[in-house]
Amino acid sequence: MLSKPKSDQLVLRMAKLGVREHDLDEQFIRGSGPGGQKINKTSSTVWLRHRPSGIEIKCGRERSQVLNRYLARRELCDRLEEKILGAKSARQQAIEKIRRQKRRRSRRQKERMLADKRHHSGIKQSRSRSFLSDS
């Protein structure tokens, strides 16, 4: 369940951002993904829309409807802060980091990397030869 201090903290955060409960459209829908019969029968996924900003959030991470409501509101606050501050959030930075890691190297980068590998390999080979010849 959700603790009282956490819910109070969320209410304060929402008030600071100017989010009022009557500005939110909330529906409980059936989730998708793994869970079989249970997920097909229960409406524990929360769909939340903040009318003034147009931000929509769908949260079905947990089994509990109460916990999903809390998580959806927290996500809404995160997105509103990101929009207001204009700064990149940690989540956005993580997404961009993964995108950069998956990006294909340019031909020049690849050549430089392979040249460095050959150089390092040469250094290691020269060590092993000198070790064998000294014994």
In terms of Cα–Cα distance, which of 1, 60, 69, 58 is closest to 35?
A: 60
Query: Could you tell me the residue range of the domain that residue 130 belongs to?
Result: 104-134
Residue 38 covered by a domain: yes
One domain for residues 79 and 117: no
One domain for residues 75 and 111: no
Tens of pLDDT, residue by residue over 15-47, are 988 889 899 999 999 888 777 787 788 888 999
One domain for residues 65 and 129: no
One domain for residues 21 and 77: yes
One domain for residues 15 and 80: yes
pLDDT greater at residue 108 or residue 134: 108
* Per-residue pLDDT at 123 exceeds 60: yes
pLDDT for residue 27: 92
Percent of the chain with pLDDT over 70: 91
pLDDT greater at residue 14 or residue 129: 14
In terms of Cα–Cα distance, which of 103, 50, 109, 105 is closest to 75?
A: 50
pLDDT greater at residue 8 or residue 86: 8
Residue 130 covered by a domain: yes
One domain for residues 22 and 73: yes
The CATH number covering residue 42 comes to: 3.30.160.20
One domain for residues 75 and 115: no
Residue 126 covered by a domain: yes
- Say whether 20 sits in a helix, a strand or coil: coil
- How far, CA to CA in Å, does 79 sit from each of 54, 57, 71, 88? 11, 10, 12, 10
Residue 95 covered by a domain: no
pLDDT for residue 71: 94
pTM for the predicted model, two decimal places = 0.61
* Per-residue pLDDT at 131 exceeds 60: no
One domain for residues 118 and 81: no
pLDDT greater at residue 118 or residue 92: 118
